Amino acid sequence: MSEFEKNVLSMLETINIKLDTLIKSEGAKKNVSVSTSSTSSKTIKPSNIVEKQEEEEKLEAKPIIEGRRICPNCNGTAFNTVEDKSQVLHQMGGIKIYAKKYICKSCGFEL
């Protein structure tokens, strides 16, 4: 074996060792990134579900506002919207937001 070939072999060996450490560190990095991405996707998913639930709640709430509220007493659909001052939903800067009460125009039934 010539001196050149020995040099090349030793160089290849050092390259091999460096590649091994690189691959190992890359693998470690990948493992870390995989675990973080899986945890981040886990954190994203519940919020997506919450957003979907909130959207569904909005979708469910809208038709009621649009007048599909039906009086359980007389099946009337016409209501007066009144602020229920006994129920404060939210208070901010001295402004109170009261719960809404729906009073049937036909029979006076309170929803």
Contact positions vs Zn ion (CB under 5 A)? 71, 73-74, 76, 104, 106-107, 109
Distance CA 7, CA 63 (A): 81
Tokens matching residue 17 = 């060792």
Rounded least distance, CB 61 to Zn ion, Å: 21
98 vs 109, which CB is nearer to Zn ion?
109
Rounded least distance, CB 66 to Zn ion, Å: 18
Q: 41, 33 in Cβ contact below 8 A? A: no
3-class secondary structure, 98:
strand
58 vs 68, which CB is nearer to Zn ion?
68
Beta bridge partners of 91: 96
Rounded least distance, CB 94 to Zn ion, Å: 36
Rounded least distance, CB 72 to Zn ion, Å: 8
83 vs 106, which CB is nearer to Zn ion?
106
70 vs 83, which CB is nearer to Zn ion?
70
Distance CA 81, CA 19 (A): 74
Distance of CA 105 to the CA centre of its chain: 40
